[in-house]
Amino acid sequence: MSDTHFGFQTVDEKHKADRVRGVFDSVASKYDVMNDLMSMGLHRVWKAYTVAVADVREGQSVLDIAGGTGDLALAFAKKVGKGGSVVHTDINEAMLHAGRNRLLDAGWALPTVICDAESLPFARDTFDLVSVAFGLRNMTHKDRALAEMTRVARPGGRVIVLEFSRPWKPLEKAYDAYSFSILPALGKYVAKDEAAYRYLAESIRMHPDQETLKSMMEAAGLARVEYFNLTAGVVALHRGYKT
């Protein structure tokens, strides 16, 4: 038996995925409005920056892991056009369902696959870009997920990870106060689930910092890994290339 973290709790790793599923089952219907409220709209800027750094072109193929309600998948679909492809995936049916509805409303019927990032049902060397936004933090074996993302990227293709990270030290106190009081309160009144948003704050603190994640991506076999701090490191975007 091996232990892992679920926020600040130590749990048997067999149970983490179920606990994470419970969180996203509970918040799926309020996920987008909560994202806008919690980040004061900043998540849109972080994602727009991600799309710019990803630099996908018309006709290319993209795999969006832990794609949830689909905003990155939609942005990539617009970039690759009808001649390209974007596969929208997530382990959670409720999140994927919300995302699929949103994509259809926007006029995009993308292939949608329920799958675990730690064991991807795609052939090696397939995608020009593999992306994950705010998903890696929730995975039980982040090293396996990164190795899988690398496996399915084509040689010369890139893997990008957008995730909460370590903010600039002078901001830490204010950021802690915000995360551990305002976030759970917003969760309680808007999503009717205070615990889910306490988990969010805790899982951010337990996630590897910028340099550690960079090393993990290198260990997964990616080259030329670099990262870009956004909003003073509250979020970081990592990018690496498959050789």
Ligand X SMILES: C[S@@+](CC[C@H](N)C(=O)[O-])C[C@H]1O[C@@H](n2cnc3c(N)ncnc32)[C@H](O)[C@@H]1O
Binding site for ligand X (CB under 6 A): 20, 24, 65-69, 71-72, 90-92, 95, 116-118, 133-135, 138-139
User: Closest distance between ligand X and the C-beta of residue 132, in Å?
Assistant: 7
User: Closest distance between ligand X and the C-beta of residue 2, in Å?
Assistant: 16
- The answer to whether 82 touches 58, Cβ cutoff 8 Å, is no
User: With respect to ligand X, which residue has the nearer C-beta, 136 or 243?
Assistant: 136
- Residue whose structure tokens are 């799926």: 28
Q: Of 165, 243, 178, 167, whose CA–CA distance to 204 is shortest?
A: 165
Measured distance CA(32)–CA(35) in Å, rounded: 5
- Residue whose structure tokens are 């933090």: 137
Structure tokens at 138: 């929730």
User: Closest distance between ligand X and the C-beta of residue 79, in Å?
Assistant: 16
Measured distance CA(80)–CA(84) in Å, rounded: 5
Using N-to-C axis directions, what is the helix angle for 42-54 and 31-39, rounded to 10°?
100
User: Which amino acid type is present at position 146?
Assistant: L
User: With respect to ligand X, which residue has the nearer C-beta, 122 or 223?
Assistant: 122
Pairing of strands 153-164, 222-230: unpaired
User: Closest distance between ligand X and the C-beta of residue 66, in Å?
Assistant: 3
User: With respect to ligand X, which residue has the nearer C-beta, 18 or 223?
Assistant: 18
Measured distance CA(123)–CA(98) in Å, rounded: 27
User: With respect to ligand X, which residue has the nearer C-beta, 155 or 186?
Assistant: 186
User: With respect to ligand X, which residue has the nearer C-beta, 14 or 224?
Assistant: 14
User: With respect to ligand X, which residue has the nearer C-beta, 133 or 220?
Assistant: 133
Cα Rg, the chain, nearest whole Å: 17
- The answer to whether 161 touches 134, Cβ cutoff 8 Å, is no
User: Closest distance between ligand X and the C-beta of residue 156, in Å?
Assistant: 24
Structure tokens at 211: 């340099």
User: With respect to ligand X, which residue has the nearer C-beta, 207 or 242?
Assistant: 207
State the residue number with the nearest CB to ligand X.
68
User: Closest distance between ligand X and the C-beta of residue 26, in Å?
Assistant: 11
User: Closest distance between ligand X and the C-beta of residue 50, in Å?
Assistant: 9
